[in-house]
């Protein structure tokens, strides 16, 4: 990559749609054929060349800490514990002081990344480097596994992102985006959803995106977990 970048893996949520598995276990520690979702994300980011990983935690955070204590060469991984859960946008803003780099990836912990996804993410980062504008990675419905909705999250017009409107092509957010820390100078609340960041960027005509060509596995519920296990076996 042409830039140094950090990453934050969003891992603070309660994982309610994964009950009863998440009754005693945070969702990032759910395993798919011997590897946790969190380890899958960490390995994926390291292979991309990420030189610092932040993990925000809240629900059963001590179990995530226990896992990381077992992982060798984890000196570039920092846990940021949220005493009160801050939602997705607030969680990122709360962790910004820990970033070593101005540019960073934001990654959801409920995606099971495959090696072939690296090409799509590298393309996204290269697009970001050229334009120096926030970029989200989106995926067309026919490439998705583990999610079944008729309404999309976003629409792509050229390389600009807008909100999905009925009748448009269905694209889902892939759970990965890249931007710079100065974006958060515009947000002053402690707790807020990342939807507020996206809406601000769309309103100011500053949100860009790329589409995935590879298949994408969302592990947001038990059905998605079973699909990912089946394809990875």
What pLDDT shows up at residue 75?
67
- Distance between CA atoms of 45 and 118, rounded to whole angstroms? 9
Considering the chain, what is the average pLDDT of its residues?
93
pLDDT, tens only, 12-27? 999 999 999 899 999 9
Query: What pLDDT does 97 receive?
Result: 95
Best CATH choice for the domain 6-232 from the list 3.30.2350.10, 3.40.50.720, 1.10.274.10, 3.90.550.10: 3.90.550.10
**Low-confidence residues in the chain, pLDDT < 50:** none
Q: Which residue has the tokens 């590298």?
A: 122
Per-residue HEC secondary structure of the chain comes to CCCCCEEEEEECCCCHHHCCHHHCCCHHHCEECCEEHHHHHHHHHHHHCCCEEEEEECCCHHHHHHHHHHCCCCCCEEEEECCCCCHHHHHHHHHHHHCCCCEEEEEECCECCCCCHHHHHHHHHHHHHHHCCCEEEEEEHHHEECCCCCCCCEEEECCEEEECCCCCCCEEEEEEEEEEHHHHHHCCCCCCCHHHHHHHHHHCCCCEEEECCCCEEECCCHHHHHHHHHHHC
């Amino acid at each position: 990559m042409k830039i140094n970048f950090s990453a934050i893996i969003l891992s603070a949520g309660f994982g309610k749609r994964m009950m009863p598995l998440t009754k005693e276990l945070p969702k990032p520690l759910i395993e798919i054929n011997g590897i946790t979702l969190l380890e899958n994300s960490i390995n994926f980011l390291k292979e991309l060349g990420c030189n610092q990983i932040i993990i925000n935690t809240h629900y059963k955070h001590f179990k995530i800490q226990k896992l990381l204590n077992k992982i060798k060469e984890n000196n570039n991984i920092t846990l940021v514990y949220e005493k009160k859960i801050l939602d997705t946008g607030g969680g990122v803003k709360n962790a910004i002081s820990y970033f070593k780099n101005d540019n960073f990836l934001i990654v959801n912990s409920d995606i099971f990344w495959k090696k072939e996804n690296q090409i799509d993410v590298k393309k996204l980062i290269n697009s970001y480097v050229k334009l120096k504008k926030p970029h989200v990675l989106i995926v067309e419905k026919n490439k998705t596994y583990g999610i079944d909705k008729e309404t999309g999250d976003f629409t792509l017009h050229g390389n600009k992102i807008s909100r999905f409107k009925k009748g448009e092509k269905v694209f889902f957010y892939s759970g990965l985006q890249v931007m710079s820390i100065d974006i958060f100078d515009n947000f002053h609340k402690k707790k807020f959803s990342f939807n507020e960041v996206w809406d601000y960027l769309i309103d100011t005509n500053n949100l860009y995106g790329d589409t995935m060509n590879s298949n994408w596995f969302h592990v947001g519920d038990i059905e998605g977990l079973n699909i990912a296990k089946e394809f990875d076996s």
